[in-house]
Structure 1
Amino acid sequence: MRFLLFFVGVILLSSCAVFQPKNFNSEALNEELLTLNREPITLSEILKNNKGKKTFIQIFATYCPVSQDSFDDVIAFQKENSEINYIFLSVDHSYHDWKRGLEDIKVKGNHYYIPKKGKGQLGEFLKLKTIPRFLILDKNGKILLYKSSSVSDRLKNKID
């Protein structure tokens, strides 16, 4: 009887798949973001502009203390991995709050604002509930790491 329960438990646990997409869906790719100059751009265009190199993406908010604390780790990561692209997507309350908040952020990379604040198609695709959030993409824009809440060893291993 114990063996049967153990066997059923193993089968149930091993059949639980974790959502780990390899590509963004078309809705997420086509969501409109804003550049620093308040020009519209889609995630698809951003990824096309960064094709050919691995890409590090951080989703954050300038007002979030946890996001602010994570930037020290990102800066250290950037020093060790200067050959990759860095994209920062903000879910701030407003475009103006985001622009003001960027004055205190020292990370280097391309910054974009998500007007739907993580509640649009991109946020839905990412199942965005907490920030900061980190993703790693390969040279072709395929997702190597879908979800990390810190600059962890798991994230660092996806760069190598």
Structure 2
Amino acid sequence: MKRIIYIIFAGLCFTSCSKDIQTQLSEDVLNEEYINLEGDSVSFQEMLSEHKGKQIVIDVWASWCRDCIVGLPELKALQAEKSDAVYLFLSADRNIETWKRTIEKYNIEGVHYFMPNGTKGQLGEFIDIDWIPRYLIVDSEGHIQLFEAIEADDPLIRKTLN
């Protein structure tokens, strides 16, 4: 009897605790506005359109996130190995000046945007951000190929990029 209850509980947890994996971004996400390094507002759709035809590695991060900073060497190794991909950094920082200083301090190369609503914006809700860093990969057609990775050296990132 205990075994049956355990199996039922495990099955319920597995089906109800897993996140929905999306392959298309919603209109709300695509229309959400971010701020580039020059201070201009840019929609998520504009960001993706600028790099249409290329694989895009999206890194949701923040300067206050220890795991984000500690993972930078692995991210830089990925960039060196997979240099044909676009690296799009979306910062959940609370302050634009801190965001900019951190990019400069750690020489984070890629395309950078500030998320005015942080992880509470449309993208954060859509992908259910519960941890950063958070990596996604969007293919050359604009479909999400990798929905969730939390470490730059996650083997799924390289597998998806190949």
What is the TM-score with the length of structure 2 in the denominator? 0.88
In structure 2, the partner of 1:63 is 64
TM-superposed deviation, 1:4: 7.4
Corresponding residue for 1:97? Answer: 98
Q: Which runs of 5+ in 1 are unaligned?
A: none
Deviation at 1:50, TM superposition (A): 0.7
C-alpha separation in 2, matches of 1:66 and 1:140: 30
Equivalent residue number for residue 54 of structure 2 = 53
Give 5+ residue unaligned stretches, structure 2.
none
Give the percent of matched residue pairs that are identical in Structure 1 and Structure 2. Answer: 30
In structure 2, distance between residues paired with 1:3 and 1:38: 59
Divergent runs of 4+, >4 A: 1-17
What's the offset of the Cα at 1:129? 2.1
What is the Cα deviation at residue 2 of structure 1? 9.3
Larger mean Cα displacement after TM superposition, 97-106 or 18-27: 97-106
The worse-fitting range, judged by mean Cα deviation, of 20-29 and 95-104 is 95-104
How far 1:120 sits from its partner (Å)?
1.4
Total equivalences in the alignment? 160
Q: Is the 8 A contact 1:59 1:134 kept in 2?
A: yes
Aligned partner of 1:129 in structure 2 is 130
1:115 and 2:116 aligned: yes
**Residue 158 of structure 2: aligned partner:** 156
CA deviations 1:70-96 (Å, max 9, x no partner) are 111110001110111110000001112
Q: Which region of structure 1 is more displaced relative to structure 2, 3-12 or 84-93?
A: 3-12
Letter in 2 for 1:24: L
AA in 1 matched with 2:88: I
| Pairwise CA RMSD | 2.1
Shift of 1:60: 0.4
Is contact 1:62-1:92 (8 Å) kept?
yes
Which piece of structure 1 moves more, 27-36 or 99-108? Answer: 99-108
Preserved contact between residue 94 and residue 115 of structure 1 (Cα < 8 Å): no
Give the aligned residue type for 1:61.
A
Shift of 1:30: 0.8
Shift of 1:12: 5.1
After TM superposition, the score normalised by the length of structure 1 is: 0.89
3-state SS in 2 of match to 1:102 = helix
Report the residue type matching 2:102 in the other structure.
Answer: G
